[in-house]
Amino acid sequence: MENETLESRDSRIGQILSLMQQLGSGNLQARETPSERGDDLDEIISGLNVLAQRFSAQLTPLTKTEQWLDKIMEVIIAIASLDFTRKMPIGDEGNVFDAVGVGLNALSEELFASTISRDYLDSIINSIGDAVIATDAEGKVTRLNPVAEELTGWMGKEAEGKHLSEVFNIVNAKTRETAVNPVTQVLESGKIVGLANHTMLIAKDGTEYQIADSAAPIRNSDGNITGVVMVFRNVTEEYYMKEMLRDSGERYRRLFDLLPYGAEVIDLEGNIIECNPHTARMLGYERDELIGKHITEILAPSSIEIFRQKLPSIAKGIAKENIESADIKMMHTNGSIIDVLRLGRPIYDAYGKISNYLSVNVDITERKRAEEERERFALQLSIASDIATQINAILDPDKLLNAVISLIKERFGLYYAHVYTLEETMLKLRSGYGEAGKKMLAEGHAISLDSEISLVARAAWRKEIVVVHDVAAAPDFLPNLLLPDTKSEVAVPLLIGERVLGVFDVQHDETDRFTQADLDVFNTLGGQIATALQNASLFEALRESEEKYRTLVEYSSDFIFLIDNEGVVLSVNQAAARSLGRKPQDVPGKNVSELFPPEIAGNYKRSLKKIFETGTSIANEVVMPAGGEVLWISSSLNPVKDKAGEVVAVLGVSRDITERKQAQELLQESEENLRATLNSIGDAVIATDTQGNVTRLNPVAETLTGWLLSEAGGKPLSEIFDIVNARTRETAVNPVTQVLKSGKIVGLANHTMLIAKDGTEYQISDSAAPIWDADGNIIGVVLVFRDVTEEYRMRETLGESEARNRAILNAIPDLMFVFSKDGTFIDYHATSSDLLYAPPEQFLGKKLRDVFSPELAAPFLHLIKQTIMTEQTQIYEYSLPMDGLQHHFEARLVFYGQDRVLSITQNVTERKNMQEMTVQSEKMLSVGGLAAGMAHEINNPLAGMMQTANVMNNRLTNIDMLANQRAAEEAGIPMESIRTFMESRGIPRMLAAINQSGRRIAKIVDNMLSFSRKSDAVVSTHDMVELLDRTVSLAATDYDLKKQYDFKTIEIVKEYEADLPLVPCEGVKIQQVFLNILRNGAQAMQEAGGKPRFVLRLARETELGMLRIEIEDNGAGMDETTRKRAFEPFFTTKPVGVGTGLGLSVSYFIVSENHGGEMEVVSEPGKGATFIIRLPVERIGTVP
Amino acid sequence: MKTILILDDEQVVRASFVDFFEDCLWRSIQAESAEEALKLLTHETPIAAIVDVRLPGMDGNEFIREVHRRNISMAFVVCTGSPEYVVPDDLLELSSVSSHLFKKPVTDLADLEKEILRIIEHEKEIG
């Protein structure tokens, strides 16, 4: 029996220990649900409890007890060494510690109660490997075990009674700051405390130890903490090892991962066992994909062999220890080759054997490419200069371009090259390489300069190089069937400064073959070619111009000849020879006397003589008989001088002017016709010469100016044609002068008036035009004008009436709008833009629905249509918010001609408001009249009800009443019992309810009566300041108000004008008005929340003879509808039963009807409400 | 026993007055018109009357004048539901007519009794 118990107890301890270990190793944390962890805790607690309970009862075999104690100590130490804070999830530590603490305390109590084992416990504590320090409740050391003595450097005896912090000096290993004393913490919290990480103990002699520890409270049977036990251990070695291990491991890992180069580790077979992210990125893999691949899988074929040869030596472990480097090529997943500088070294295991091989791969692709690029660039530059030198020697542009094309194509290793030159707006192919070039040339291939898709055109108009690296990727590339293999293309403009001469275009059969360096070379070359081309072209142009000149002379229709001083003809052109009836080669060498009749020849000789003598030119016209007809010949004979200025020959240019002569005769005839025409037309015509002198006047002009042609001819126009500005009477600008100056047709200025010779004035409209001769020279001016006096007068009258109309319109204060039939604002009239809802630019040209809300615009548009359809005036009333207030408008829509409507719009806000107010007071008066009639009818039944209730109350509850006592006696029930019964059944309360309701009805009736005009007013003069202030303090004590609101929390701002006049009024009533407003305001502000504030204002309104009283609250404010109805009787926004809805209407009535004042409210939702009361300062007439 | 005349055309109102005064140990007689009340006064001698103003036939004012004319000495308290009513000046001059006008509904009937007793006392003093 006993054995059994012992065994079960042992197994329980075993269970607890294993749980402890789990706790310690953090396995508990792995449990997923809190309930699982809870179960474990329960297990520990109950285990410890059971252990404690049974302990004393079964002490008997001491040996066994000793064994248990051993185990219990193990439990204690296990718990104490746990680094709970680190291993337990946050929030659970407290529970665990508490639980364990409860169990342990129970156990230790039992233990210490049985005095037997104190020595034994001592011996255990002394013999365990961990340091143990115990303190009392004040944190003073009570004992140290030998290990603790060794670590702290304090002997038990010295340390006892000293404060723990003195003996146990701990700091943070990293910061060297004093660490929190764990004992203090335990004493404060009553919980087990683990030491912070990195805690370092400084021994008495200064030796430092890295320690791991924890402290736990010792509790007595009452649960009070009597001391703390602290267990710790020197973990210096462990700590450093761990720190170092972690450091180096981490350092290696971080280095490996952050290396800006690829790095991988392969095993001796060449399998990748590790690689860093850079390697993966460099080769286009995910990191995990690379692990396990063979090294040859990521190498370019050309490098695989190198590795094949190297691997065996790696495998045999004979690779060199020092770093090997090699240029190899690796393969990207996208197939591209990456040049890599590979640095490798073996990794040795603990036995000095090679275990792995680490390589660092530096991507040198860019560097390699750049090197190649530099080489190519240098080569190409030399090619370019070579080409430039060669082509500069060629003077024929076509030959030049042909040479350029072949040189570029061949020297740059291109697929194709051709060149275009710019001719006006077309880029014409001038030279192309090979068969394709020939074919295109034969087809006359050309590109329009404004072609957007052509690279060549683009290069020309952008004046910059255009490159397509991959024609397949260029969306608008036009493939050329003759050049199927083109993969990339560059078009280079041939520029001289800003001038484009052409474009050369080169193509490659590989993509991405043109580098920036290439483009630079091409650009340079483009300039060279352009210069060479320009030189060649200039040369050609020069040659051409010489030839042109010769051709000109040769084929000119003029007779051109060269004669020496003897009259011998030196040379003639074809036309000259022909005119002489000879062949060109027959004429030279002959004398003029042989070629012309004697008379003409004599003339020539005389002229020649004169030219040779004077060195001047001679021009003449001669008539020459030719085959029965007469030819008119005009000649110009010019000296040809040598370098010394001596006349050596005469160059003659003659022309047959027979036709011209005939034309002149015809002209004279038409001149006669013209004159006849001019004379017969209705308009006045005056012609002048280039000096502005009159040359012609037709009869109408004679009539208007009062001048005859015979008088006027040769006189300056300004004398004949005296014009002034009709308005200013200033001299008007002479149109002829203007025409002569500008060479253009000129209209007369408006309001021009002609003053005739006799002083008659004519309003005229006219214009003047230049007269050109056949050579385009102005030879005179013709002025045409007309008498428009009549017309002008009519127009003036019209303008005046229009101006009058406009003046009238401007004076009309109404707004006017013109609408088209679709509701577009076409025009408007407003005496001030303040009257408008929106500035003109926001509505002119816009539709109604773009300016107004749909609710407003739709009926408006409907009425516009209606107006157009019926041609009847329509009226539309609407309202718009302006300056924070609602404005009312009345638009009269008038038919305004085809598809137009004129809206005459009046702002009727004032009128509306007046109407509103009138309706308001009418309404109240009728309510008042009704109330007066009704009051009697209501009051009587009310009296029956309330008075009866009054009597009932007396009869049911009044003990002292004789009648009651008598009746009670008769009924055999004591009156007291009746009252008790009544009270317990709540009868008096019910009667009171009847009474209260009745009173309310009576009050409503009474209020309504205020609306009847009758008033027994007691009028005296009052100081409004005093009255208002008194009302405010009254409001603060008002019971009804207090029920709903604490008036004292409301801030009162007073803005009173000084020296206000007294107001004759009925003080009590005005006070009632103020009170009503204050009540409503207070309630509104309470509902709105926020900081309540009243602003009270008193001011004089001198013009009106009124005193203005304003009460402004900052409550929720009212919307339009509420505001309009605020003074309406029985209108209330309060819940049923809270207000009668009469307060404000009574107030309104008091102010307007009883005092002849005004009352209004200004409010908007969210902006509070301001009640404005105006009371007349002087009483007008008697009190109504 | 003190007798009081209740003159009111509204039965419920009349009853409430009658009940109240009975509780106060008065004897009450009632009439629903002035004519009926005058008839009652030929054989009854109440010392006070509660008089309604608006009555069928002769109104309350005229009734008081008539009683006064007949030299019947009694106290009058006018009690009316008409809001615009005021006690005419000729009646106010009479010491037997209460200057305090009771408006219906009378919220505290005890005030009414107090006023009646006051006038009676006052009349006695005058003699």
Cα–Cα distance for residue pair A146/A149, rounded to 1 Å: 5
* Residue B17: closest C-alpha in chain A: A947
**DSSP notation for A139-162:** SBEEEE-HHHHHHH---HHHHTTS
* Residue B14: closest C-alpha in chain A: A944
Inter-residue contact A317 to A354 (CB < 8 Å): yes
Facing residue for A940 by CB, picked from B10, B19, B23: B10
**Geometric angle at alpha carbon A1161, from A1155 and A1162, rounded to 5°:** 145
Name chain B contacts of A958, Cβ cutoff 8 Å.
23
Name chain A contacts of B17, Cβ cutoff 8 Å.
947
Chain-chain contact of A945 with B81 (C-beta, under 8 angstroms): no
Query: Which tokens belong to A789?
Result: 């006096």
Chain-chain contact of A943 with B83 (C-beta, under 8 angstroms): no
Query: Which tokens belong to A372?
Result: 């190649």
Inter-residue contact A29 to A88 (CB < 8 Å): yes
Chain-chain contact of B23 with A1014 (C-beta, under 8 angstroms): no
Facing residue for B83 by CB, picked from A947, A995, A1009: A1009
* Residue B16: closest C-alpha in chain A: A948
- ipTM for the complex shown: 0.85
Distance from the A1069 Cα atom to the nearest Cα atom in chain B, whole angstroms: 18
Chain-chain contact of A954 with B22 (C-beta, under 8 angstroms): no
Name chain A contacts of B104, Cβ cutoff 8 Å.
939-940, 942-943
Chain-chain contact of A954 with B17 (C-beta, under 8 angstroms): no
* Cα A130 to chain centroid, rounded: 70
Q: Does the pLDDT of residue B43 top 90, yes or no?
A: yes
Chain-chain contact of A948 with B12 (C-beta, under 8 angstroms): yes
Task: Tally C-beta pairs within 8 A across A and B.
Answer: 87
pLDDT of residue A116: 37
Could you tell me which residues are beta bridge partners of residue A886?
Answer: A881
Inter-residue contact A569 to A592 (CB < 8 Å): yes
Cα–Cα distance for residue pair A286/A333, rounded to 1 Å: 11
Distance from the B105 Cα atom to the nearest Cα atom in chain A, whole angstroms: 4
Distance from the A938 Cα atom to the nearest Cα atom in chain B, whole angstroms: 8
DSSP state of A122: H
Q: pLDDT (tens digit, 9 = 90+) per residue, B59-110? A: 999 999 999 999 999 999 999 988 778 889 899 888 899 988 898 899 889 9
The conformational region for residue A589 under phi > 0 = left, psi -120 to 50 = alpha, else beta, is left
Tell whether omega for the bond before B105 is within 30 degrees of 0, i.e. cis. Answer: yes
* Residue A943: closest C-alpha in chain B: B105
Chain-chain contact of B15 with A945 (C-beta, under 8 angstroms): no
Facing residue for B84 by CB, picked from A942, A962, A1014: A1014
Chain-chain contact of B105 with A954 (C-beta, under 8 angstroms): no
Facing residue for B23 by CB, picked from A937, A954, A998: A954
Facing residue for A943 by CB, picked from B83, B84, B104: B104
**What CA–CA distances, in Å, run from A963 to A189, A948, A954, A978, B26?**
79, 16, 10, 14, 11
**Residue A874 DSSP SS3:** strand
Chain A residues whose C-beta is within 8 A of a chain B C-beta are: 932, 935-948, 950-951, 954-955, 958, 961-964, 995, 998-999, 1002, 1005-1006, 1009, 1012, 1014
pLDDT of residue B3: 95
pLDDT of residue A1154: 78
pTM (2 d.p.): 0.34
Cα–Cα distance for residue pair A661/A670, rounded to 1 Å: 15
Cα–Cα distance for residue pair B51/A1037, rounded to 1 Å: 39
Sign of CA dihedral A872, A877, A880, A884: positive
> Residue A710: CB partners within 8 Å, gap ≥ 6?
none
Inter-residue contact A125 to A231 (CB < 8 Å): no
DSSP state of A1140: -
Chain-chain contact of B25 with A939 (C-beta, under 8 angstroms): no
Chain-chain contact of A941 with B12 (C-beta, under 8 angstroms): yes
Sign of CA dihedral A543, A544, A547, A553: negative
Sign of CA dihedral A1100, A1105, A1111, A1114: negative
Query: Which tokens belong to A1030?
Result: 């008194």
**Running along chain A, 1184 residues long, what does each successive block of 10 average in pLDDT?**
45 51 40 44 51 42 43 47 37 44 48 44 58 83 83 84 85 81 80 70 85 74 74 71 56 60 79 82 85 85 76 60 68 82 69 72 72 69 69 73 82 85 86 86 85 84 86 77 85 84 87 78 79 75 68 74 83 80 81 81 84 84 72 82 78 80 73 69 83 85 86 85 84 82 75 85 83 79 83 74 71 83 87 82 88 89 90 88 81 85 85 70 67 79 91 89 89 90 90 88 76 59 87 70 66 89 85 85 81 91 88 88 78 61 78 84 87 80 38
Chain-chain contact of A963 with B16 (C-beta, under 8 angstroms): no
Distance from the B9 Cα atom to the nearest Cα atom in chain A, whole angstroms: 10
Chain-chain contact of B13 with A943 (C-beta, under 8 angstroms): yes
**Residue A668 DSSP SS3:** helix
Chain-chain contact of A936 with B105 (C-beta, under 8 angstroms): no
**Residue A79 DSSP SS3:** helix
User: Strand ranges (DSSP E) for A139-237?
Assistant: 141-144, 169-172, 193-194, 199-202, 208-219, 225-234
Closest CA to A446 of A454, A495, A483: A454
Query: Which tokens belong to A134?
Result: 């115990």
Q: Which of A942, A951, A996 to mutate to test the interface with B (most CBs of B within 10 A)?
A: A951
Cα–Cα distance for residue pair A314/A668, rounded to 1 Å: 119
Name chain A contacts of B12, Cβ cutoff 8 Å.
941, 944-945, 948
Q: What ranges in A58-177 are assigned the alpha helix state H?
A: 62-81, 84-87, 93-113, 118-127, 146-152, 156-159, 164-167
**Residue A494 DSSP SS3:** strand
* Residue A931: closest C-alpha in chain B: B83
* Residue A934: closest C-alpha in chain B: B82
Q: Which of B23, B25, B112 to mutate to test the interface with A (most CBs of A within 10 A)?
A: B23
Name chain A contacts of B84, Cβ cutoff 8 Å.
932, 1009, 1012, 1014
Facing residue for A955 by CB, picked from B23, B80, B83: B23
